[in-house]
């Protein structure tokens, strides 16, 4: 991989600034492993998408993302146009440094930069699925976005909004647990209409609906234990009409893989998910909060080539 044209997309603010502080050391290691490369730095939300897309259009063959799940989501969107990949043969690498980093709990990727660069130099590349969603942004306009890990709607969107406007100094797990507990106390369940392929078409009362490509989100919540990033299917977890005491009683099951055993939790599998509501229902897309229902989520199988452990 060292002979390939390579661009690093670095979010210097990731992990409360650790990515920026550690970049000089990572850069030196990368020069040793990979030879010459370009490095681009994000300055704000959305930058990673534009930087990745520009690099690919200018001939980059390998894009390495340094940041958390939100930065990775932006880079993934840089790889994709509305009609598919901008450069189908391009490869994505990831050195995870962020608040949640839930994706690497499903897809084995080295967190240690030294080992990650060894893997990038001599890579195992695997195709992974993406989800494509059409939704309403905060201004009520139609929008399109891809995700690599999890999209959810309901409580997840409320939690994202709270996490992203408060400090993340205590790390991903504490940040998301605290935001979840606060959001639970002030959140009202939502009534939505949910359709999955042709197998499920109902109006349901929900706390949250998870459309999962990966297994984890929210700083370690194991919301879809059966999900796989290369099976061409979404694994959908519907957390239904539980009482607030029932939710608190079952919070441990969000983290121990026993979520499917909870009464009023429904699991579905499909390739297309549609949802709408008369109420405001916020989206969570790989840890970011870009908008709200209505939403259509479609599976795009095997479309992204990513460096990961075998």
DSSP 250-271: TGGGGTSS-GGGSTTEEEEEES
Domain contains 266: yes
160 and 292 part of one domain: yes
118 and 166 part of one domain: no
Whether residue 168 is predicted with pLDDT greater than 60 in this model: the reply is: no
Which of the 8 DSSP states describes residue 33? H
Between CA 26 and CA 58 the distance in angstroms is: 24
Domain contains 81: yes
110 and 193 part of one domain: no
Query: Could you say which of 105, 123, 141 is where a domain stops?
Result: 123
What pLDDT sits at residue 188? 81
249 and 150 part of one domain: yes
CATH number at residue 28: 3.40.50.10330
Domain containing residue 94: 6-123
What pLDDT sits at residue 150? 97
* Residue range 82-112, pLDDT digits in tens: 888 999 999 999 999 976 689 999 999 988 8
Whether residue 264 is predicted with pLDDT greater than 60 in this model: the reply is: yes
202 and 276 part of one domain: yes
* Residue range 112-157, pLDDT digits in tens: 899 999 999 988 999 999 999 999 999 999 999 999 999 999 887 7
Cβ neighbours of residue 185 closer than 8 Å, sequence gap 6 or more:
none
């Amino acid at each position: 991989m060292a002979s390939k044209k390579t661009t690093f997309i670095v979010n210097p603010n990731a992990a409360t600034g650790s990515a920026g502080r550690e970049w000089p050391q990572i850069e030196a290691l990368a020069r040793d492993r990979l030879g010459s490369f370009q490095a681009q730095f994000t300055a704000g939300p959305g930058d990673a998408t534009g930087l990745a897309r520009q690099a690919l259009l200018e001939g980059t063959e390998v894009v390495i993302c340094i940041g958390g799940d939100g930065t990775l989501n932006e880079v993934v969107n840089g790889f994709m146009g509305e009609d598919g990949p901008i450069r189908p043969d391009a490869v994505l690498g990831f050195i995870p440094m962020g608040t949640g980093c839930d994706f690497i709990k499903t897809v084995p990727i080295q967190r240690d930069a030294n080992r990650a660069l060894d893997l990038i130099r001599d890579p195992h590349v695997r195709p992974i699925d993406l989800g494509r969603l059409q939704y309403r942004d905060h201004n009520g306009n139609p929008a399109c976005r891809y995700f690599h890990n999890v999209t959810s709607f309901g409580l997840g969107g409320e939690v994202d909004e709270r996490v992203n406007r408060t400090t993340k100094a205590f790390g991903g797990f504490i940040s998301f647990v605290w935001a979840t507990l606060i959001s639970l106390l002030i959140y009202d369940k939502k009534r939505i209409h949910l359709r999955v392929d042709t197998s499920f078409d109902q109006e349901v009362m929900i706390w949250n609906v998870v459309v999962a490509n990966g297994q984890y989100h929210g700083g370690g919540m194991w919301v879809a234990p059966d999900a796989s990033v290369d099976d061409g299917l979404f694994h959908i977890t519907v957390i239904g009409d539980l009482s607030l005491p029932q939710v608190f009683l079952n919070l441990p099951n969000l983290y121990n893989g026993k979520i499917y055993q909870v009464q009023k939790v429904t699991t579905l599998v499909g390739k297309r998910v549609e949802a709408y509501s008369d109420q405001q229902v916020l989206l969570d897309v790989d840890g970011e909060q870009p908008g709200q229902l209505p939403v259509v989520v479609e599976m795009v199988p095997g479309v992204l080539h990513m460096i990961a452990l075998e």
